[in-house]
Amino acid sequence: MSSVVEFASRLVAIPSVSSQSNVPVSDCIAEMLESIGFQVERQAFPDPKGIPKANVIGKLGSGKGGLAYFAHTDVVPADTWSIRDHGPFEPTVRNCRLYGRGSCDMKGSIACALAAASQLDVRILKEPLYFVCTADEEVGFHGARFVVDHSSLYREMVAGQTRAIIGEPTELGVVHAHKGIFGFRAIAHGKAAHSSTRDGTNANMAMIPFLAEMKKIHDETLTDPTWLNNEFDPPWISWNLGINDLNCAVNITAPRSICTAYFRPMPGQDGNLLVERARLAAEKCGLEFHSECAGQPLYGDPSSEFISESVAIAGGFRSRTVCYGTDGVMFTELRQILVLGPGSIQQAHIDDEWISLDQLERGTQLFSKLFQHWCSR
């Protein structure tokens, strides 16, 4: 138990907010993996703003197939951290909980997987254990996309159809499906001037008809069976609009107006259809259009051997669905995939983030059972 808390505390103490570099925490994980005996592939790349980022992919054992554990090392900002006794990157154990940014989402999970892997006897492995830690899951899955495009070990997993566990917090229950994530941005351009003159052009005027079409799509997705799935709660795609003209005064014609839209399609739904509809509406209104992200829904067959046996090992009765997304939206080439990890999504991203020591202990035990079951049978 002390080792998993030590591992988790060590990782939490290394700041890795998505807007910053995750290289130090990635180096720490690579060092831990190598000490266990993993072959390590390290990927370095800049994010869209030029900030250094890193992925770490490891392999323990030989051959193909086996099991892969996936996690991300970036965390959300901690600007509103509410605990006065210690900062967000000062891991603190109190009341049977480990507090700190990333303790639940998802460095606690990484610590459990590392502790479980350290207990494995490589001599009994008949198939390999892979370990994948990515950058920038919280801001668009950039690290996961880089793994898909550039990792030789990931190509090996796809060729061998390695079973995959995304270690996000599920309170150690098996999740067989989650929603995808699509997003875009439309921009109307105008000309700033004093609103009492005829010199300006208000960008919001061009945006209004586009927003009317976006509202129409929003309403359709609440009633059209094409965009509904009662296996999820809520059963719709959560078409969410943001509007901002960045105007600094009420008497200036807005030189720019921005609409953002994000939505979460479910298995069997093609989110590209709605993106293309929005693109055509933007062109009609004379707006600039940018696709921001496109991640497909994750789905594993709940009756498959991988999921049903994993449910049994986890001590559950059935798998379930969730409405949040994971790096799994990028790893859809792996057909045997599920989400399973310690901690609750209710504790993720909050201003006093924590994970219970019980979940860390049970998570280590469960990962140990799963690693042995799928790699040594």
Task: Quote the CA–CA distance of 136 and 176 in Å, as a whole number.
Answer: 23
Active site residue 74: yes
DSSP 266-280: -TT--HHHHHHHHHH
Q: 134: part of which helix (H) or strand (E)? A: strand 129-134
For 204, which DSSP code?
H
Dihedral sign (CA 38, 146, 143, 52): positive
**Catalytic site includes residue 137:** yes
Choose, from 47, 136, 137, 353, the residue flagged as catalytic: 137
Of 298, 310, 309, 377, the C-alpha closest to 335 is 298
| 47, 74, 127, 353: the active-site residue | 74
Q: Using the 8-state DSSP alphabet, how is residue 328 labeled?
A: G
* Residue 46 CB neighbours (<10 A): 11
Both tokens assigned to 102: 């990333």
In angstroms, the CA 306 to CA 339 distance is 12
User: Measured between alpha carbons, how far is 271 from 250 in angstroms, rounded to an integer?
Assistant: 37
Give kind and range of the element (H or E) at residue 30. helix 23-36
Catalytic residue positions, numbered:
74, 137
